[in-house]
């Protein structure tokens, strides 16, 4: 019987993480389960930074980006002895299960704790969108909307100066932020890790479209696809066009979560608690075919957000 759980946020922060913490805390309270919050991700777990979370502790947090529990990237947690000590600490503090809110790396940490007998569930939280076990990760929609607002501002100056604006976005080894923002902003092209990068072809397309009276262009580059500085240099060297670079960086990780991210965070949180109450542990709470599901870790590899080649092609068809 689950009587007390702990929750932590880990890895890259993402808008909606606070909504997820709030959802876990308040829904668990509805079910008579006590909640403890662990600060600074697995680093805080190792340091035994844990304190009770009640309904008031999560008040006025749903609208805030980032994570009020703080997060961390913690190399020490790759050590099996450290993982075992962390599991023992949780058991010593009568924690029946741990809810981890984070990305694919954080899920590996949760799996490690499970291997030492500490039940875990993972709520997918990363702006990258690239986790196994789910077709959606909390933070992706907010990041895409942040890119939309930012690129629309960049477009103003590109149009005013007849320039090619190259914009680098995050996503680590995935191109989902670039793909969705590319269509949303009406980019002329996107470069993503999932597709071959051909700078000669890109320049050919730019010269063709600018030869048809196009005055400015937006090129979105996923950080995992190419060195965006190299892309700008190549355009400058192989065309007459004026190109410049904006690296959006960490602005994509901040900001108040969109409605969609707040809603998904709440639904993921509810499912996480219900899954534990049903006696099902060691799974990632995922969006699978538009439904919220608990996917056992050993089956998670069968579910992931698919790179939509149709969107990729449509961006280039509409961008000319
Ligand atoms: P994200 O969860 O956003 O992908 P990271 O990949 O940095 O972020 O992972 C976050 C933390 O999860 C790491 O700093 C580390 O503490 C833990 N972690 C990642 N991979 C593993 C692993 N294979 N085994 C144990 N812990 C891991
Ligand atoms: O995983 C989320 C993310 O923002 C990636 O898109 C990015 O490459 C990485 O984190 C940056 O890591 P850090 O916050 O450690 O610099």
For residue 128 and ligand 2, the question of a CB distance below 6 A is answered with: yes
C-alpha span between 266 and 258 (Å, rounded) = 12
In the chain, where the domains are located: 4-139+257-302, 141-253
Q: For tokens 């990780």, name the residue.
A: 253
Atom 10, ligand 1: which residue's CA is nearest? 11
What tens digit of pLDDT does each residue of 79-113 get?
999 999 999 999 999 999 999 999 999 999 999 99
C-alpha of 265 from chain center: 12
Place of tokens 């607002």: 149
pLDDT of residue 213: 87
pLDDT in tens, 113-136: 999 999 999 999 999 999 999 999
From the CB of 105, is ligand 1 less than 6 Å away? yes
171 CB within 6 A, ligand 2: yes
Beta-strand pair 283-288/120-124: parallel
- Annotation says 261 is catalytic: no
CATH number 3.30.230.10 is the correct assignment for the domain at 141-253: no
Fold (CATH) for 4-139+257-302: Rossmann fold (3.40.50)
Q: Are 4-139+257-302 and 141-253 equal in CATH topology?
A: yes
Annotated catalytic residue within 104, 128, 141, 205: 128
Residue nearest to atom 13 of ligand 2 (CA): 12
The pTM score is 0.97
């Amino acid at each position: 019987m689950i009587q007390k759980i702990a929750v932590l946020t880990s890895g890259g922060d993402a808008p909606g993480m606070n909504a997820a913490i709030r959802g876990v805390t308040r829904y668990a309270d509805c079910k008579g389960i006590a909640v403890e919050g662990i600060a600074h991700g697995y680093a805080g777990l190792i340091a035994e930074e844990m304190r009770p979370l009640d309904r008031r502790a999560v008040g006025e947090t749903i609208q805030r980006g980032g994570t009020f529990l703080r997060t961390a990237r913690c190399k020490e947690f790759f050590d099996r002895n450290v993982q075992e000590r962390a599991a023992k600490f949780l058991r010593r503090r009568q924690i029946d299960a741990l809810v981890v809110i984070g990305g694919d790396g954080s899920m590996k940490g949760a799996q490690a704790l499970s291997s030492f007998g500490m039940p875990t569930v993972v709520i997918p939280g990363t702006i990258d969108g690239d986790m196994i076990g789910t077709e959606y990760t909390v933070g992706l929609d907010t990041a895409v909307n942040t890119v939309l607002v930012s690129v629309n501002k960049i477009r103003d100056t590109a149009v005013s100066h007849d320039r090619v604006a190259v914009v680098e976005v995050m996503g680590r080894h995935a191109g989902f932020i670039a793909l969705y923002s590319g269509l949303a902003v009406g980019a002329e092209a996107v470069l993503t890790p999932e597709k071959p990068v051909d700078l000669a072809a890109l320049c050919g397309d730019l010269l063709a479209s600018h030869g048809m009276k196009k005055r400015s262009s937006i090129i979105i580059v996923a950080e995992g696809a190419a060195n965006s500085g190299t892309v700008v240099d190549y355009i400058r060297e192989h065309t007459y066009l004026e190109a410049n670079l904006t690296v959006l960086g960490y602005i994509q990780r901040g900001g108040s979560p969109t409605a969609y991210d707040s809603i998904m965070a709440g639904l993921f949180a509810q499912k996480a608690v219900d899954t534990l109450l049903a006696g099902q542990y060691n799974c990632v709470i995922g969006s699978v075919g538009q439904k919220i599901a608990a996917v056992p870790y050993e089956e998670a590899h069968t579910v992931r957000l698919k790179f939509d080649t149709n969107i990729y092609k449509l961006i280039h068809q509409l961008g000319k």
